């Protein structure tokens, strides 16, 4: 069962949330960020190359041009492999654990799995971010030796930063599953 | 409660039989390790399982039955239900799979006969079973990080995944029986197609024991040699603690003792430590031999030796010019003529002595260097340590000048500060380690703490003299400290690179790149597409450790050359004139 609604992130860019229910206690949420815009890439590249050409015009040194090309290529590769996140996934399996996965624009995936015994709760928290206050969904991890205290906090959907309406959707589904299986 | 079943991928297509595995204590889950096929005799199955239990310390039991019916095998269902009476269990699992379908079906029977879950039941509780498929060989070989020892009693209960990994890793004897064995039991597991082994690995294992014993004997000879009384005299000890070659050789000897001990490594951490040291030692030797081949190829070493004496000469000449400049009017500053001449002549005489010694040694330099260069066959780290020592010896005169200049400057500063206190009527109280005020009256009761006018007069005189001599001493101190810092920086760079070669865990990084499943940070789950009516199927894969965590975890501890003081403390020491030794060598930490 898949759902699509109109959601935005904290900056106003439109994102999409995809909910899949695999079973009564297993759900998967995917938040997709907007793709890399071609216009931005072209503007950036043109700017760098014009600047390099201007430097070449004054210095008559061709290494400036080749280094500008190499720099642009390297920068683009680093950006799509390490910086640009395509979609983030939250897979919650009742009584087993929660899996967070970020998939980058180059196809690389980075995954973390948190076992249910370490998970205290999933909550929506507020944070001061620059000049505004934003909501974010986070997982509270408990120290196995001392179950009452919160050992650390793992924020979810850090790159896409969806707004509260999207977070509430995910929060309700997660709480249903957590209530069922604990 | 949800029941979690870990099922090996190799048994997906196995014939019908009994499921053998372990119930994970404390969690509602079970790990399936193998499938025993029909026909079997229940008594032999029980005997085999109890043998394995004593061998592996894992409580293996029959978990249930597995049925993958082929043609002509109808009627298996009732046969399978009867099996639960032969192997009495609290919970009996009945897994079955039909050819052509991808999903399994599972029924769980409690020992009072009640069915926990019926596959026809679609409403109400629904599916409460998760089937997790795992790659048995990878999970067996993998090590979850952070590493916890198996027998270690920890306050923290082991997590479910850790128990699963430990169970599979400890059940290795179960996987020795393959389908070509003539025993009474036929098992299916990851090795049932035949045990994998490599002749080279087996030969190396057999050969390594006598080689290790021989090398340990050689090492004991070396220790016996080092224990001679003559080598424990204080001057020898002092020199050897300063020479980085000796420090490096001691360090390497400790390493060898770890690596070449004939005892097999018990835990994962010990094994990784041994392997890292061994691989880094091999790489060290290889790089050293490469360096030798480069140095000796076109007789470069003789050319190097030939340029060494002119370079030392040149350095000495530059120092002489520097001192002449200081003796004049350096940078337009006016120096105290007499002190300037004294200090300048003193240092010039030192340099003259130094140049004569270098010229005395010059015929032998080439031979010495030739033989010293051969020591690079012991490793690149040795060659770098020798280079550092050569640089230290050649710049010994700079070190001496620095010490003289620093001592003089230090005396001046202390004298000035104490006489300045005298001016202001304060005094250093040795008992209380603080500055106290001092009165000027000549009262009989306080005679010992009062200041006489004579004291004040002499104090003022000395203060003035020292104050006017300060620029000269300060300038000499500044120049020689800068030179000393340049040398220290160069030595520091060499030490850092030696440290890097010593401590970099090459084997661990290689393992992470070539066999990433061996070092696991965690697991990843993928939901496998399922058919309705079957329980949830997940695929568990191993999430390898990040490279930065590998480095942090497996870095060999070394005698690290970290800066002893912070920047602020260093600047303070420089200002006051205390001697600085910025690279303090910590003693080797063993854990």
In 3D space, the residue among B153, B379, B139 whose CA is nearest the CA of residue B280 turns out to be: B379
Both tokens of B485, joined, read 């810092």
Does residue B153 surpass a pLDDT of 70? no
| Cβ(A95)–Cβ(B1) below 8 Å | yes
Q: What is the pLDDT of residues B187-217, one digit of tens each?
A: 888 887 777 788 998 898 888 888 888 888 8
Query: Using beta carbons and an 8 Å cutoff, which residues of A are at the interface with B?
Result: 22-26, 28, 91, 93-96, 99, 101, 111-113, 115, 117-118, 144-145, 181
- What stretch of H or E contains B428? strand B426-429
Question: Rounded to an integer, what distance in angstroms lies between the CA atom of residue A169 and that of residue A178?
Answer: 15
Both tokens of B538, joined, read 């997940």
| Cβ(B300)–Cβ(B294) below 8 Å | yes
CB–CB contact A144 B4 (8 Å): no
Both tokens of B388, joined, read 């550092």
CB–CB contact A22 B155 (8 Å): no
Q: What is the pLDDT of residue B121?
A: 43
Judged by average pLDDT, the poorest of A105-119, B122-136, B543-557 is: B122-136
Mutation target among B4, B129, B524 for the A interface, most CBs of A within 10 A: B524
Q: What is the pLDDT of residue B119?
A: 44
Closest to B155 (Cβ–Cβ): which among A91, A96, A145?
Answer: A145
Vertex B503: Cα angle to B500 and B505 (nearest 5): 110
| Cβ(B65)–Cβ(B83) below 8 Å | yes
Average pLDDT over every residue of B121-141: 74
Q: What is the largest CA-CA distance in chain B?
A: 125
Does residue B423 surpass a pLDDT of 60? yes
Does residue B83 surpass a pLDDT of 70? yes
Q: What is the pLDDT of residue B427?
A: 77
Q: How far apart are the first and last CA of chain A?
A: 24
Size of interface A-B (CB pairs under 8 A): 60
Alpha helices in A60-86 (DSSP H): 62-78
CB–CB contact B160 A93 (8 Å): no
| Cβ(B393)–Cβ(B242) below 8 Å | no
- B245 min Cα distance to partner chain A (Å): 42
pLDDT higher at B586 or B438: B438
Does residue B535 surpass a pLDDT of 90? no
| Cβ(B108)–Cβ(B92) below 8 Å | yes
CB–CB contact B2 A25 (8 Å): yes
Q: What is the pLDDT of residue A43?
A: 95
Both tokens of B64, joined, read 């249930």
Nearest CA in chain A to B522: A113
Peptide bond into B146 cis (omega under 30): yes
CB–CB contact B160 A95 (8 Å): no
Q: What is the largest CA-CA distance in chain A?
A: 71
- A28 min Cα distance to partner chain B (Å): 9
SS (H, E, C) B115-151: EEECCCCCCCCCCCEEEEEECHHHHHHCEECCCCCCC
Q: Which own/partner pairs from B450-455 qualify as long-range (CB within 8 Å, at least 24 positions apart)? A: B451/B422, B451/B425, B455/B422
Listed in sequence order, the residues at least 6 apart from B553 whose beta carbon sits closer than 8 Å to its beta carbon are B145, B146, B147, B508, B545
pTM of the model: 0.82
Both tokens of A148, joined, read 């009452």
Both tokens of B411, joined, read 């005396």
Question: Rounded to an integer, what distance in angstroms lies between the CA atom of residue B530 and that of residue B105?
Answer: 11
Q: Which own/partner pairs from B515-519 qualify as long-range (CB within 8 Å, at least 24 positions apart)? A: B515/B141, B516/B542, B516/B544, B517/B135, B517/B138, B517/B141, B517/B142, B517/B542, B517/B544, B518/B141, B518/B142, B518/B143, B519/B142, B519/B143, B519/B145, B519/B544, B519/B545, B519/B550
| Cβ(B355)–Cβ(B316) below 8 Å | yes
Average pLDDT over every residue of B294-300: 82
CB–CB contact A115 B161 (8 Å): yes
| Cβ(B540)–Cβ(B562) below 8 Å | no
Q: What is the pLDDT of residue B256?
A: 78
Average pLDDT over every residue of B435-455: 63
pLDDT higher at B98 or B22: B22
CB–CB contact B2 A113 (8 Å): no
Residues of A in contact with B28 (CB under 8 A): 95
- B2 min Cα distance to partner chain A (Å): 7
Q: What are phi and psi of B6, to 5 degrees?
A: -95, 120
Both tokens of B84, joined, read 């639960």
* Neighbour-count burial of A12, counting CB atoms closer than 10 A to its CB (0-12 exposed, 13-18 middle, 19+ buried): exposed
Q: What is the DSSP string of B209-252?
A: HHHHHHHHHHHHHHHHHHT-GGGGSHHHHHHHHH-HHHHHHHHH
Considering B81-95, B163-177, B302-316, the range whose residues carry the highest mean pLDDT is B163-177
Q: What is the pLDDT of residue B258?
A: 77
Q: Are strands B105-110 and B91-96 parallel, antiparallel or unpaired?
A: antiparallel
Does residue A4 surpass a pLDDT of 60? no
Judged by average pLDDT, the poorest of B361-365, B478-482, B510-514 is: B361-365
- A23 min Cα distance to partner chain B (Å): 7
Task: Return the number of other C-beta atoms located less than 10 Å from residue B338's C-beta.
Answer: 10
> Exposure pattern of B532-555 as b/e (b: 16+ CB <10 Å)?
eebbbbbebbbbbbeeeebeebbe
Listed in sequence order, the residues at least 6 apart from B63 whose beta carbon sits closer than 8 Å to its beta carbon are B19, B20, B21, B22, B23, B30, B32, B89, B92, B93
Q: What is the pLDDT of residue A2?
A: 47
Question: Rounded to an integer, what distance in angstroms lies between the CA atom of residue B255 and that of residue B590?
Answer: 11
Listed in sequence order, the residues at least 6 apart from B208 whose beta carbon sits closer than 8 Å to its beta carbon are none
- Calculate the average pLDDT of chain B: 81
CB–CB contact A24 B527 (8 Å): no
Q: What is the pLDDT of residue B453?
A: 78
* Neighbour-count burial of B250, counting CB atoms closer than 10 A to its CB (0-12 exposed, 13-18 middle, 19+ buried): middle
Q: Are strands B105-110 and B115-117 parallel, antiparallel or unpaired?
A: antiparallel
Residues of A in contact with B159 (CB under 8 A): 115, 117-118, 144
Bridge partners (DSSP) listed for residue B107: B94
Q: What is the pLDDT of residue B228?
A: 79
Query: Using beta carbons and an 8 Å cutoff, which residues of B are at the interface with A?
Result: 1-2, 4, 28, 126-127, 130, 132, 155-157, 159-161, 522-525, 527, 530, 535-536, 538, 543
Question: Rounded to an integer, what distance in angstroms lies between the CA atom of residue A106 and that of residue A98?
Answer: 24
Task: Return the number of other C-beta atoms located less than 10 Å from residue B79's C-beta.
Answer: 13
Residues of A in contact with B130 (CB under 8 A): 26, 93, 95-96
Average pLDDT over every residue of B476-489: 90
pLDDT > 70 in chain A, percent? 97
- Calculate the average pLDDT of chain A: 90
CB–CB contact A95 B522 (8 Å): no
Nearest CA in chain A to B538: A93
Question: What is the three-class DSSP state of B590?
Answer: coil
| Length of chain B counted residue by residue | 591
Mutation target among B106, B522, B540 for the A interface, most CBs of A within 10 A: B522
Average pLDDT over every residue of B94-122: 66
Residues of A in contact with B161 (CB under 8 A): 115
* Neighbour-count burial of B375, counting CB atoms closer than 10 A to its CB (0-12 exposed, 13-18 middle, 19+ buried): middle
Considering A56-60, B64-68, B126-130, B436-440, the range whose residues carry the highest mean pLDDT is A56-60
Question: Rounded to an integer, what distance in angstroms lies between the CA atom of residue B206 and that of residue B188?
Answer: 30
- Separation of CA B173 from chain center: 32
* Neighbour-count burial of B2, counting CB atoms closer than 10 A to its CB (0-12 exposed, 13-18 middle, 19+ buried): buried
Q: How many helices and strands (H and E) does chain B possess?
A: 16, 16
CB–CB contact B527 A95 (8 Å): no
Q: What is the pLDDT of residue B222?
A: 83
Q: What is the pLDDT of residues B1-45, one digit of tens each?
A: 788 999 999 888 888 888 889 988 888 889 999 888 877 888 888
Q: What are phi and psi of B527, to 5 degrees?
A: -85, 125
Question: Rounded to an integer, what distance in angstroms lies between the CA atom of residue B99 and that of residue B97?
Answer: 7
Judged by average pLDDT, the poorest of A46-55, B79-88, B330-339, B489-498 is: B79-88
Question: Rounded to an integer, what distance in angstroms lies between the CA atom of residue B36 and that of residue B20?
Answer: 7
CB–CB contact B2 A95 (8 Å): yes
Mutation target among B525, B533, B541 for the A interface, most CBs of A within 10 A: B525
CB–CB contact A144 B127 (8 Å): no
Average pLDDT over every residue of B38-53: 86
CB–CB contact A91 B155 (8 Å): no
pLDDT > 70 in chain B, percent? 88
- A177 min Cα distance to partner chain B (Å): 12
CB–CB contact A91 B527 (8 Å): yes
Q: What is the pLDDT of residue B335?
A: 80
Both tokens of A177, joined, read 């599953």
Q: What is the pLDDT of residue A102?
A: 95
Nearest CA in chain B to A101: B524
Helix B244-259 with B268-297: angle, nearest 10 deg: 130
Judged by average pLDDT, the poorest of A102-116, B24-38, B76-90 is: B76-90
Residue position matching structure tokens 């000395």: B462
Does residue B286 surpass a pLDDT of 80? yes
Average pLDDT over every residue of B552-556: 87
- B524 min Cα distance to partner chain A (Å): 6
């Amino acid at each position: 069962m898949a759902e699509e609604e109109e959601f935005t992130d904290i900056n106003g860019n439109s994102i999409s949330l995809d909910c899949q229910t695999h079973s009564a206690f297993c759900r998967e949420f995917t938040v997709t960020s907007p793709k890399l815009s071609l216009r931005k890439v072209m503007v950036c590249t043109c700017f760098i190359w014009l600047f390099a050409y201007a430097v070449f015009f004054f210095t008559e040194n061709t290494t400036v041009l080749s280094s500008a090309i190499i720099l642009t290529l390297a920068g683009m590769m680093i950006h799509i492999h390490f910086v640009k996140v395509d979609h983030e996934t939250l897979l919650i399996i009742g009584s087993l654990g929660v899996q967070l996965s970020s998939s980058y624009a180059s196809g690389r995936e980075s995954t973390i799995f948190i076992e249910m015994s370490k998970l205290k709760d999933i909550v929506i928290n507020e944070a001061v971010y620059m000049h505004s206050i934003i909501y974010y969904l986070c997982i509270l991890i408990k120290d196995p030796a001392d179950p009452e205290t919160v050992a650390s906090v793992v924020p979810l959907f850090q790159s896409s930063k969806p707004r509260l309406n999207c977070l509430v959707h995910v929060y309700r589904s997660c709480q249903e599953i957590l209530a069922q299986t604990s | 409660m949800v029941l979690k079943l870990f099922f090996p991928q190799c048994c997906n297509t196995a014939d019908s039989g009994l499921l053998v595995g372990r119930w994970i204590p404390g969690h509602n889950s079970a790990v399936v390790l193998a499938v025993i096929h029909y026909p079997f005799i229940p008594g032999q199955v029980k005997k085999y399982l109890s043998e394995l239990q004593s061998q592996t310390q894992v409580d293996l039991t029959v978990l249930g039955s597995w049925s993958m019916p082929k043609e002509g095998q109808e009627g298996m269902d009732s046969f399978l239900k009867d099996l639960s009476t032969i192997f009495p269990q609290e919970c009996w699992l009945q897994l079955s799979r039909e050819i052509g379908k991808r999903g399994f079906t599972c029924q769980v029977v409690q020992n009072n006969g009640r069915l926990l879950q019926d596959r026809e039941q679609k409403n109400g509780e629904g599916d409460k079973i998760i089937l997790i498929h795992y790659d048995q060989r990878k999970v067996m070989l993998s090590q979850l990080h952070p590493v916890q020892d198996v027998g270690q009693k920890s306050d923290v209960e082991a997590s479910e995944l850790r128990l699963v990994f430990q169970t599979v890793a400890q059940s290795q004897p179960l996987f020795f029986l393959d389908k070509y064995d003539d025993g009474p039991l036929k098992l299916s597991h990851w090795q049932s197609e035949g045990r994998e082994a490599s002749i080279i690995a087996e030969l190396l294992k057999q050969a390594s024991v006598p080689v290790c014993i021989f090398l340990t004997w050689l090492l004991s000879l070396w220790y016996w040699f080092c224990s001679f009384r003559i080598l424990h005299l204080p001057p020898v000890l002092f020199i050897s603690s300063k020479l980085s070659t000796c420090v490096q050789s001691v360090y390497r000897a400790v390493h060898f003792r770890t690596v070449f001990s004939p005892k097999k490594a018990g835990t994962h951490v010990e094994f990784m430590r041994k392997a890292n040291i061994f691989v880094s030692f091999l790489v060290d030797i290889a790089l050293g031999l490469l360096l030798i081949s480069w140095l000796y190829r076109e007789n470069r070493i003789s050319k190097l030796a030939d340029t060494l004496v002119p370079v030392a000469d040149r350095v000495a000449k530059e120092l002489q010019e520097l001192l002449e400049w200081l003796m004049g009017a350096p940078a337009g500053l006016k120096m105290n003529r007499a002190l300037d001449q004294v200090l300048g002549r003193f240092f010039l005489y030192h340099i003259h002595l130094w140049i004569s010694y270098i010229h005395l040694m010059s015929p032998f330099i080439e031979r010495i260097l030739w033989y010293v260069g051969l020591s690079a066959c012991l490793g690149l780290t040795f060659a770098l340590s020798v280079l550092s020592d050569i640089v230290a010896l050649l710049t010994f005169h700079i070190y001496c000048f620095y010490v003289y200049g620093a001592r003089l400057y230090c005396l001046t500063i202390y004298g000035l500060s104490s006489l300045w206190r005298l001016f202001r009527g304060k005094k250093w109280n040795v008992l209380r380690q603080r500055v106290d005020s001092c009165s000027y009256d000549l009262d009989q009761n306080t005679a010992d703490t009062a200041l006489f006018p004579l004291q004040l007069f002499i104090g003022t005189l000395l203060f003035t003299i020292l104050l006017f001599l300060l620029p000269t001493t300060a300038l000499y101190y500044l120049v020689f400290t800068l030179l000393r810092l340049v040398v220290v920086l160069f030595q520091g760079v060499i030490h850092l690179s030696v440290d890097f070669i010593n401590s970099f865990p090459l084997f661990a990084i290689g393992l992470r790149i070539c066999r990433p499943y061996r070092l696991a940070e965690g697991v990843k789950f993928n939901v496998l597409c399922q058919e309705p009516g079957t329980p949830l199927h997940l695929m568990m894969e191993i999430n390898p450790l990040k490279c930065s965590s590998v480095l942090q975890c497996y870095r060999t501890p070394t005698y690290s050359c970290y800066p002893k003081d912070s920047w602020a403390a260093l600047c303070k020491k420089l200002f006051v004139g205390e001697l600085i030794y910025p690279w303090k060598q910590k003693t080797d930490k063993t854990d």
